[in-house]
Amino acid sequence: MTSYLRRALVASPTAQAQAARAELRDAWDWCPIDEADLVIALGGDGFLLQTLHAMLEARRPPPPVFGMNLGTIGFLMNEWRRHGLDDRLDRARAFKVTPLMMTATGIDGRIHALPAINEVSLLRETRQTAKIEVTVNDRIVLEELACDGILVATPAGSTAYNLSAHGPILPLGSAMLALTPISAFRPRRWRGAILPDRARVSLRILEPGKRPVSAVADQREIRDVAQVDIAMDRARELTLLFDPEHALDDRITMEQFIA
């Protein structure tokens, strides 16, 4: 495939992924990831997220990523197969994934800006219930949410932590975000909201000294936050490639029918 002449190969440190990397190492002339037109990622969902985050931090536009599952679940991955890779890449379907940007202000006043591909989650740090004021587009929608935490999930991440917290599954391309409470105590019957993906969400921690809260952007945590602002980061779009018979949009849709 002429558009993917320069390929990079990355693999998680697990024995299984390293063995697969050894099988592919001599099949093509691989290049460094910062020179690649395409990245082949071997591992699980966690490793893929690490790879995507590293690409977001690079200065150049992120190249497409074709992941092959050598981890546990592999929801964001394709099936591992050594042979026929060129044909699979020729037939692959591309899906755009837009990350969130989390801007977390700590109790100490320091500001941390981190991207999140799946979700931004706030979690209580102690046995004390977190109390959070929820604002959407500069309008306070919940003056006090007493809970273990709250999260904002993208469609790509809606089947991950968000689904475990009983949040809605969002079809890929729905242009929506899930705002989902984690073990809400008050208001007890509030089950969350579905928001347009252009919404800006602000989460202010009430009594942050007594009831400390941490903020997590995918796998990266900031502790003792005072406020977290969340919005889509449309300037840094990612592209994932999937086998047509195992495409991401179909997998997200079918998750709604799993008992």
Q: What is the pTM of this model?
A: 0.92
Binding residues for NAD(+): 45-46, 118-119, 148, 156, 159-164
Find all residues with CB under 8 Å of 137, minimum gap 6, and list them: 199, 200
- pLDDT score at 1: 45
The pLDDT value recorded for residue 113 is 97
Average pLDDT over residues 150-159: 96
Q: Which residues are annotated as a binding site?
A: 45-46, 118-119, 148, 156, 159-164
Question: Could you give all domains of the chain from N- to C-terminal order, each with its CATH number?
Answer: 2-98+236-257 (3.40.50.10330), 100-232 (2.60.200.30)
Q: What is the pLDDT of residue 258?
A: 82
Q: Which of 147-151, 159-163, 253-257 has the lowest mean pLDDT?
A: 253-257
The two structure tokens encoding residue 233: 């980061």
45 is catalytic: yes
pLDDT surpasses 50 at 131: yes
Catalytic residue chosen out of the listed positions 45, 197, 218, 249: 45
Task: Give how far Cα 245 sits from Cα of 14, 160, 214, Å.
Answer: 27, 21, 39
- Torsion sign (Cα): 216, 236, 199, 254: negative
Tens of pLDDT, residues 64-123: 999 999 998 889 999 999 999 999 999 999 999 999 999 999 999 999 999 999 999 999
pLDDT, average across residues 182-203: 96
- pLDDT tens-digit series, residues 9-68: 999 999 999 999 999 998 889 999 999 999 999 999 999 999 999 999 886 789 999 999
